[in-house]
Amino acid sequence: MKENKSKIQQLHERWLEHKKDVWALDVNNYLVFVDECILKAELLLAYDVLSEGIDLFPDHLQIKKSFALILNRMEMSEEAKSILMDLLQENQDDEVVLGILASAYKNLARKKPSISQPHLPDTNENLNMSIEFYKKAYAKAKNPWHGINLATLQLIIGNEEIALEIAKEVFRNLFYIAQGVTKNNYWDLATLAEALIILKDYEEAINYLRQAIELNKKDIGSQVATKKNLSLLYSYQKIPSDIYHKLTELFSIPKIVVFSGHMIDEDEKVDCRFPRWLESEVSSLIKDKIESLGDIETYSSAACGADILFIEHALQKGARVNIILPCARELFIKKSVSYLADSNWEKRFQKILASDVNLIELTSITDDHLEIPYDFANQLILGLSKMHARNLCTELIPFVVYNKDSKELDGGTASVVSDWKKQKLDIEKIELDKLLRDKNGPNDTLESPLVHTSGRYKYAGHTVSLLYADAVNYSKLSDYEMMVFGEVTLEFLNKTLKQNNYKVGEKNTWGDAFFISFYDAKDAGCCSLTMMDFMNTFNWRSVGISKNIKIRMALHVGVAYSFMNPLTGNITFNGINVCRAARMESITPPGRVFCSEEFAAFCETLSIDKFSCSYVGQKLMPKHLGKYPTYLLRRS
């Protein structure tokens, strides 16, 4: 098992340990570090770094360009466009600014495919603007990267002759450079490959792309950009299917493997689900599967049995490993690792945590008084893996060690498989029932005794989306204005909840603030955006309020615990996740809706098309709650 920290982990640690006052002496500290982040496709980290850098050097041209580039690669193209248009207003119209701006418009155009002609993009403003800015950028310096993007878009909209001419020019100008001292430059070789694709010389295109990747295997960020361009051509049927798959198989972008598997059974009956004596064979099968997948990054829990076997082999392979636990590790060890007598599973678990892994503990539960949210943890594991696979433009591989005869209970692997099937995921399986039948004949399996039910606990746990909101400068209103504000706001909110039949748990208000718990994350997101639209556009003067009022909202999803409130006589939700939502609301800008990474990941599993979540950085929460990844909620 590899003990050395990966370069990505080292990158994160360097950022956590950096001294802001020292870095503030030289802008290059930020620019050089961001280049490393881009190389590793660590876009969220790059965003955090540049957020601090642009705060210290607000007028520095290169910081602005780098920030726009990162925003665009994160699909936050409107924000990137805003920065770049400001630079154009300042007469900063060099080829880099024009090229990133063209790419931003291309991203925006790609989000709006034609309805009438599904295989051709709309000739919309965004696509036209992208072509115009690529033309300007290419005319300034004949940069082959801008040329090949221009040729790609011309081919997509049907201007094949123009596309071929540009591709020939790009290839001719770049070919001699690529044979010289810069022959290991990724972008030169990859651009030659893209030119040859447009010219339909597919075999040579494959050769050039292979060279580019073999010489620059660690440049994941650049490979992602190339793959997106190839995917764009393929989506408009400009590359034959067999050629496209040969090209994409060359990339060293890691596949994202999301894993679930049964724990080792305590009962040594012949008919048990995953007996100890089957460990060696299952371990070997997991190793073979991992070896067959190429470069990978993994998401899983770390229970005794299949989880730990999977993680051990992933670490041995050198994969980046993400572990999500449903509770504090001490309780997790007790419930899901060390329950087998005379075993070494806890020692193996501790060795894993001492290795280069990213560990997330979803709750602070440390004892048996509260239900452990296994099912919620499984949903977050899938959501986080799907988000990461989408950002890397790579394949998501669901993988299970599974006995299909086991009962489907919340939090168990059988439940995970059922959920994944509902999402039409193509699941890789090691089938324990078949292994057992081969050795023992008929198999009557038992579900793990460690899967809990809510009936055992004093406080019931609920997976809920929590909405907190309050008004900015509310205290500056007069008594009359406060009364009018409350009546207008809460009347609209109540109407919104009823008209849409949103399923809610607790509802509460105090002064300018309100709190709602939703049983459906989609309801929570849609309600918050509807409410925000109303607040941002309502004419407050028409009801006698002299100031335009802004509210701020925050959304978080997690397990909250309910009890009958003796004071109010109503059900009340409480717990650390309720605090998370409240603290995030207080740092949200007026007129915006912030949401947690958990909410963004949870929504990823629901295939919601009404809204999206865009990363806005690690935000420091008040009252010593710490820093958390935070997202902006907005309509799709």
The domain limits of the chain are 255-456, 460-635
Residue 440, pLDDT score? 67
> Do 255-456 and 460-635 agree at the fold level?
no
Amino acid identity at 506: E
H helix intervals, 392-429 = 413-422
Helices (H) and strands (E) in the chain, counts: 25, 14
For residue 117, which of 68, 86, 158, 161 has the smallest C-alpha distance?
158
CA separation for the pair 223, 623 (Å, rounded): 42
Q: Which residues on neighbouring strands pair with residue 121, listed in sequence order?
A: 113
DSSP class of 58: T
Mean pLDDT by 10 residues, the chain (636 residues): 55 91 96 92 92 94 95 90 93 90 90 46 76 95 93 93 96 75 77 96 96 92 93 91 96 97 76 84 97 96 97 96 94 90 92 93 80 92 96 95 76 90 94 84 46 57 94 91 94 96 93 94 97 93 89 95 86 89 92 95 93 90 85 92
Which residues neighbour 543 within 8 Å (Cβ) at sequence distance 6 or greater?
Answer: 484, 488
pLDDT at 529: 97
Nearest CA to 502 out of 514, 528, 529, 520 is that of 520
Is there a contact between 74 and 615 (Cβ–Cβ < 8 Å)? Answer: yes
Fold of 255-456: Rossmann fold (3.40.50)
**Which helix (H) or strand (E) segment is 467 a member of?**
strand 460-471
The single residue listed with the structure tokens 């049983």 is 519
| Closest to 166 (Cα-Cα) out of 181, 180, 179, 154 | 154
Strands (E), 362-459: 396-402, 428-431
Q: The domain 460-635: what is its CATH number?
A: 3.30.70.1230
Classified as helix, coil or strand, 604 is helix
Question: In the structure encoding, which two tokens stand for residue 530, read together?
Answer: 């509807």
The vertex-409 CA angle with 335 and 396, nearest 5°, equals: 90
**624 Cβ contact partners less than 8 Å away, ≥ 6 residues apart:** none
Residue 83 in contact with residue 77, Cβ under 8 Å?
A: no
